[in-house]
Amino acid sequence: MELQPHVITFTDATAPNGGVTLGGTSGGGSDAHYEAQVVVPNTTWIVMHNLGKFPSVTITDSSKIEIEAEITHDSNLQLTVRFSQAQDGYVFLN
């Protein structure tokens, strides 16, 4: 059975989102950066960040060690992260 994509929506930085813990801060100016912890392993994470830009993306495993992933910027509001096998961990956007 194929897993359905895991959708991460950055709309409320304080509430869990279906296996995702969100955190958001605003850096020294008006440039927001976000992080989300994905606790349910999946091969596809769809990140709806609503930043209005193509942010830099860092993906780590649950130990916060950087890992390889295929990242596609679908628009300036959404990106998709793909793995060869189901993965939990963190996504950092800046």
Q: Among all chains, which residue has been given the structure tokens 């960040």?
A: 49
In contact, 36 and 20? CB cutoff 8 Å: yes
Q: Which two tokens stand for residue 17?
A: 């989102």
Q: Model confidence over 81-90: pLDDT tens digits?
A: 999 999 999 9
What are the structural domains, with CATH classification, of the chain? 6-93 (2.60.40)
Terminal-to-terminal C-alpha distance of the chain: 34
pLDDT at 29: 52
* Cβ–Cβ under 8 Å, residues 29 and 36: no
Whole-number pLDDT of residue 34: 83
| pLDDT above 90 coverage of the chain, percent | 48
Q: What is the pLDDT of residue 14?
A: 37
pLDDT value of residue 5: 73
pTM reported for the whole predicted model:
0.76
